């Protein structure tokens, strides 16, 4: 009972960040962009179209969230922190993507930024309360960070051995897949927390 109530408080405080279906769309978009970088990076029409379609789908999913879960109001400080964090890591991610296209560094800066973003998200989401949720964020962040620096540790053709044309294509594919899977797990977590009824010991059935 107490654990379920604490989970509901966690979801209520962090609801804007816990829309897993939106994350799945972003993951699919990143996976599509990875295909573009591997086959036809000179044609910008594909990524632009993909991002527009993703934006439209996310807009539709926002309506779905309001219809199914209602309006969950988080406090202004939490909402601002989430927005600022998303903007900051969005800019860093774009800069890392551009840097990785140059192949100057023997590491994937995109993977490193994403790994740090996951770790920061875990700390931000769990800054209140005693029980920690979404702990797999930390382990995925660690594994992704290690994967990002493997070429700098001596295995410079790591991504080629994994079957990718370039390190950028490989990392985009990995990040897209991770984002999609995390989004699925977060959505299931959200459904369980907001739709599953919590029984109160008042002598009456639910």
Asked if residues 19 and 59 have their Cβ atoms less than 8 Å apart, the reply is no
Residue 182 in 3-state DSSP?
Answer: helix
Please provide the DSSP assignment of 74-96 as one string. Answer: --HHHHHHHHHHHHHHHHHHHHH
pTM: 0.83
State the pLDDT at residue 25: 94
Q: What ranges do the domains of the chain cover? A: 2-194
State the pLDDT at residue 128: 75
State the pLDDT at residue 74: 66
- 109's CB contacts (< 8 A; 6+ apart) are 96, 99, 100, 148
**Other C-beta atoms lying within 10 Å of the C-beta of residue 48:** 10
- The Cα–Cα gap between 33 and 105 comes to 21
State the pLDDT at residue 75: 67
Dig out the tokens for 6 from the structure: 């604490």
Side-chain half-sphere exposure of 194, counting CA atoms within 13 A: 22
Kindly list the averaged pLDDT for each block of 10 residues, start to end, along the chain of length 206. Answer: 74 84 93 81 80 93 86 71 84 91 90 94 82 90 95 88 88 93 93 63 43
| 104-158 tens-digit pLDDT | 999 999 999 999 999 999 998 888 767 788 899 999 999 999 999 999 998 888 8
């Amino acid at each position: 009972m107490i654990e379920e109530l604490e989970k509901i408080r966690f979801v209520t405080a962090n609801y804007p960040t816990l829309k897993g279906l939106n994350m799945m769309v972003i993951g699919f978009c990143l996976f599509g962009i990875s295909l573009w970088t591997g086959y036809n990076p000179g044609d910008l029409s594909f990524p632009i179209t993909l991002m527009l379609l993703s934006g439209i789908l996310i807009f539709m999913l926002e309506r779905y969230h309001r219809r199914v879960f209602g309006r969950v109001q988080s406090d202004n400080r939490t909402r601002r922190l989430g927005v600022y964090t998303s903007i900051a890591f969005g800019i860093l991610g774009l800069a890392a993507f551009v840097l990785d296209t140059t192949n100057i560094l023997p590491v994937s800066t995109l993977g490193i930024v994403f790994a740090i973003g996951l770790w920061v998200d875990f700390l931000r989401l769990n800054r209140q309360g005693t029980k920690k949720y979404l702990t797999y964020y930390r382990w995925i962040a660690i594994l992704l960070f290690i994967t990002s620096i493997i070429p700098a540790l001596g295995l410079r053709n790591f991504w080629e051995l994994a079957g990718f044309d370039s390190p950028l294509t490989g990392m985009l594919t990995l990040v897209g897949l991770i984002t999609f899977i995390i989004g699925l797990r977060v959505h299931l977590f959200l459904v369980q927390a907001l739709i599953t009824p919590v029984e109160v010991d008042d002598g009456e059935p639910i």
